[in-house]
Amino acid sequence: MRLPRPSLAQAIVFWCIVATLLVVTVLVPAVARFDAPRAEVPGAAETVEGRVMEVLERTSIQTSRGTIEQERLAVEVGGATVTVSRSRSTEDIGTLHVEPGDRVLVARVPGPEGDAYLIVDRVRSQALLVLAVAFVAMVLATGRRHGLTSLLGLAASLLVIVRFIVPGILAGYDPAVIASIGAFVIMGTTLYLAHGVSVKTTVALIGTGVALVATVLLAALSIRMARISGIASEDVATLQVLAAGHVDAAGVLLGGFVIGTLGVLDDITVAQASAVFELRRANAALGAIELYRRAMNVGRDHIAATVNTLVLAYAGASLPLLMLLVVQGEALSIQINREYLATEVMRSLVGGMGLIAAVPFTTAIAALVAHRAAKTPTA
């Protein structure tokens, strides 16, 4: 069985998605120009790049808490050389040990007696660039044309997040609505770019869309039922301060649920659609019900692997939190009620249910379409 060529309707859908991508990333940010009130921080530091030129002085002092190093460094900042004085504990892994030649981030803090300079972190952009180039090279070498289109889809996804979702939320729009719209644009763009405009891709798109709607509803219901405020995270709490309380923290949490689940949804829906069409190609005698039954055998294995992957991804990102909970020694029955832990558990459960919902629906649509396509003459 050969898949039918993309119809005029599918081509129209593809170009509508492309047009929507342009609208949300070009026009919308121009309208929602970060008009949310932001907290003014007097004497805020400006962070710039610098390079350690010389260690002018370094002494060690023994204290009851360990060895304290006091040092004066000559640091080049913006073409000028400034002196930075700092103290650090040699036992504290959170403080930086720097040597001449190291590139660092320097905070310039204005004061009544002139600017003060503090070394806050290292410059890591060069290492990240090397990793990014290696990643792109591996994708292109392995995936070739599909690798190129997948990279274009990745670029489109980042574009929607940076140019639409983030500005829209900061401008005061409902985070759940903005994230959902952005997710649908990402979904359509990445699927068609990575897999081409075809019946199979359209089926996967429909399955992903339905599962995404189910995820939004489940997330909203769960947040409401558990009375999650969304500010248990230090990042969200800081955002609330800097945005002067203008951002809905619970909505941001819901939006994070949606975007996080979307990254796995398109994988599972494309895999199910592909399984159905390959089964139909291998045996044209299979009817829609038999196609659904056999593809669901594949889907159940996929569910088990994908849900496990999703939970492990969340656990890996929250590993320091899990270790902190163990160190505290508090009973799990108590810990599970704390918002920061309840949020992570909810994230895994809601994401898992969204993935599970995607499998039977995508499989059913693909079975019906594949069965009908086999009866339709193709060019």
298 in the same domain as 150: yes
**Percentage, residues of the chain above pLDDT 70:** 81
Residue 251 resides in a domain:
yes
What does the pLDDT look like over 361-375, one tens digit per residue? 999 999 988 887 755
57 in the same domain as 153: no
Angle between helices 199-226 and 8-22 (to 10 degrees): 50
Q: In 3-state terms, what secondary structure has residue 66?
A: strand
Residue 278 has pLDDT above 50, yes or no: yes
What does the pLDDT look like over 53-87, one tens digit per residue? 988 888 878 776 667 878 888 888 888 888 888 87
235 in the same domain as 282: yes
Identify the H or E element spanning 139.
Answer: helix 125-143
Higher pLDDT, 42 or 379: 42
Listed residues 109, 126, 161: the one ending a domain? 109
330 in the same domain as 220: yes
191 in the same domain as 84: no
Residue 116 resides in a domain:
no
Q: What is the pLDDT of residue 379?
A: 34
324 in the same domain as 301: yes
In 10 A of CB 102, how many CB atoms?
Answer: 17
What does the pLDDT look like over 299-314, one tens digit per residue? 888 887 777 777 777 7
Residues of 231-244 as b/e, b for ≥16 C-beta within 10 angstroms? bbbeebeebbebbe
323: its two tokens: 């270790």
What does the pLDDT look like over 106-148, one tens digit per residue? 888 887 777 788 888 888 989 999 999 999 999 999 888 888 8
DSSP 8-state secondary structure symbol assigned to residue 198: S
252 in the same domain as 104: no
The angle at the Cα of 371, spanning 365 to 373, to the nearest 5 degrees, equals 100
Listed residues 109, 128, 154: the one ending a domain? 109
Q: What is the pLDDT of residue 268?
A: 86
29 in the same domain as 81: no
Q: What is the pLDDT of residue 222?
A: 87
Q: Which amino acid is at 337?
A: N
Give the CA diameter of the chain.
86
Residue 125 resides in a domain:
no
197 in the same domain as 61: no
323 in the same domain as 212: yes
Listed residues 63, 88, 109: the one ending a domain? 109
Residue 128 resides in a domain:
no
CA distances to 150, 306, 348, 349 from 309, in Å: 21, 5, 10, 12
What does the pLDDT look like over 147-193, one tens digit per residue? 888 888 888 888 888 888 888 887 777 888 888 888 888 888 888 87
Distance CA 46, CA 42 (A): 12
Distance CA 107, CA 109 (A): 6
In 10 A of CB 250, how many CB atoms?
Answer: 19
249 in the same domain as 343: yes
173 in the same domain as 82: no
Predicted structure pTM score: 0.73
Higher pLDDT, 362 or 11: 362
Residue 204 resides in a domain:
yes
Residue 291 resides in a domain:
yes
Residue 296 has pLDDT above 80, yes or no: yes
253 CB-contact burial (10 Å; exposed 0-12 / middle 13-18 / buried 19+): buried
Residue 134 resides in a domain:
no
What does the pLDDT look like over 232-268, one tens digit per residue? 667 777 777 776 667 777 888 888 888 888 877 888 8
3-state helix, strand, coil in the chain (%, to 5): 65, 15, 20
Range of the domain at 225: 8-35+143-375
Task: Indicate the number of domains in the chain.
Answer: 2
Residue 114 resides in a domain:
no
Least confident of 20-29, 66-75, 94-103, 170-179: 20-29
